[in-house]
Amino acid sequence: MVGWFSRLVVAMTVRMPKWFVRWVSRRYVAGATLDDAVAVMKRLSAEGACFTIDVLGEEISSMDEAKFFLDEYIRVMNAINQHQLDANLSIKPTAFGLLINPEEGLKNIRTLVAMAAENEMFVRLDMEDHRVTTDTIEVVLKLHEEGLTNVGTVLQGRLHRTIADIEDLEQRLGMNADYRICKGIYLEPESIAHTRYDEIVEATNASISRMLEAGAYVGIASHDFPVINHALSELEKLGMGPGKSDPRTNAAPQRLAKGPGYEFQMLLGVRGPLRRKLLAQGHRTRVYVPYGEKWYEYSIRRLKENPTIGAQVAKAFLMPWTNRP
């Protein structure tokens, strides 16, 4: 259940002037332009981090908007190459048109993934709300069938369906299965998702274990100690870790500038000390870098979708020692 404090912060923030929201979100969003994102990545490269870039924006209302996202991601790919950044792409399938025109949406995603393949770059399909879970997974399966294996999905620990999805993907993709696993930001109904914190952590951890055992590449996307500690102990059990090549006989060889079978992933601006600690221990650690003109809509939508973020943001400002960038 979302607490009253979170709701209060959300209610207050959405009524605040734009400059205030900009001031709050500036730590979580690289800026309005691709140059801003490149500057942030250059700065964080010095810490040894790698990146995944997200052009802000989600569900669209016309296919013309999808064209904007395709073109912008092509610019991102060129910038990654030009600046020799250790980075890949994260895209929102609905921004490519998956919800309004599934066929055209798939075509747009295919165009980007094929160009990325030529550049030996990986593309992650972010997972949005339950309306597109099946379609997003289907896009990944279809592209793999066509020989484009530089693409992977995100699964959300909170959804009841996730273990079944892992089993299905395991069957169909074998050692090419490549996931980001997170708790899931969308507050889904009880009929399809866990809603209590402890249940969500337990389910997310069960998914991590299952993915690792199945030989998949696993991007562990969390800032939460019980999830990270669980992942660390599972990695140790399997003999995986920094400086070791992946010992799992059911895993694919390392490729596409990935880690030895796993990596940690964190959002820009969140729990920097933890990220730096994992990096110092030698774990490949990827920072999710959102940028774009739509930073305001993104910030407000995220707050409305999951008011607990409001409390986390307030906590970061009021008690900065709990969450430094």
186 is a site residue for ligand FDA (CB under 6 A): yes
6 is a site residue for ligand FDA (CB under 6 A): no
- 70 or 132, CB closer to ligand FDA? 132
- 149 or 323, CB closer to ligand FDA? 323
Question: What is the rounded distance in angstroms from the CA atom of residue 272 to the CA atom of residue 88?
Answer: 20
The least CB distance from residue 104 to ligand FDA, in Å, is 22
Q: Give the 3-state DSSP-derived string for the chain, with helices as H, strands as E and coil as C.
A: CCCHHHHHHHHHHCCCCHHHHHHHHCCCCCCCCHHHHHHHHHHHHCCCCEEEEEECCCCCCCHHHHHHHHHHHHHHHHHHHHCCCCEEEEECHHHHCCCCCHHHHHHHHHHHHHHHHHCCCCEEECCCCHHHHHHHHHHHHHHHHCCCCCEEEEEECCECCHHHHHHHHHHHHHHHCEEEEECCCCCCCCCCECCCHHHHHHHHHHHHHHHHHCCCEEEEECCCHHHHHHHHHHHHHCCCCCCCCCCCCCCCCCCCCCCCCEEEEEECCCCHHHHHHHHHCCCCEEEEEEECCCHHHHHHHHHHHCCHHHHHHHHHHHCHHHCCC
Of residues 262-321, those binding ligand FDA (CB under 6 A)? 265-267, 270-271, 288, 309, 312-313, 316
The least CB distance from residue 34 to ligand FDA, in Å, is 19
Interface characters, 133-162, with ligand FDA (x: CB under 6 A) = ---------------------x-x------
Query: 95: closest CA among 156, 139, 51?
Result: 139
Interface characters, 59-98, with ligand FDA (x: CB under 6 A) = ----------------------------------------
- 174 or 295, CB closer to ligand FDA? 295
Question: What is the rounded distance in angstroms from the CA atom of residue 80 to the CA atom of residue 119?
Answer: 10
- 221 or 252, CB closer to ligand FDA? 221
- 244 or 297, CB closer to ligand FDA? 297
- Give Rg (Cα) of the chain: 19
The least CB distance from residue 306 to ligand FDA, in Å, is 7
- What is the DSSP pairing of strand 50-55 with strand 217-221? unpaired
Stretch of residues binding ligand FDA (CB under 6 A), selected from 12-20, 71-79, 183-191, 289-297 = 183-191
The least CB distance from residue 109 to ligand FDA, in Å, is 15
- 12 or 247, CB closer to ligand FDA? 12
Q: Which of 105, 184, 260, 261 binds ligand FDA (CB under 6 A)?
A: 184
Judge whether 274 and 223 are in contact, CB under 8 Å: yes
222 is a site residue for ligand FDA (CB under 6 A): yes
Stretch of residues binding ligand FDA (CB under 6 A), selected from 106-114, 178-186, 243-251, 293-301 = 178-186
Question: What is the rounded distance in angstroms from the CA atom of residue 108 to the CA atom of residue 101?
Answer: 11
The least CB distance from residue 227 to ligand FDA, in Å, is 5
Of residues 33-52, those binding ligand FDA (CB under 6 A)? none
Stretch of residues binding ligand FDA (CB under 6 A), selected from 13-21, 143-151, 181-189, 237-245 = 181-189
List of residues contacting ligand FDA (CB under 6 A) = 126-127, 154, 156, 180, 182-186, 221-224, 227, 265-267, 270-271, 288, 309, 312-313, 316, 322-323
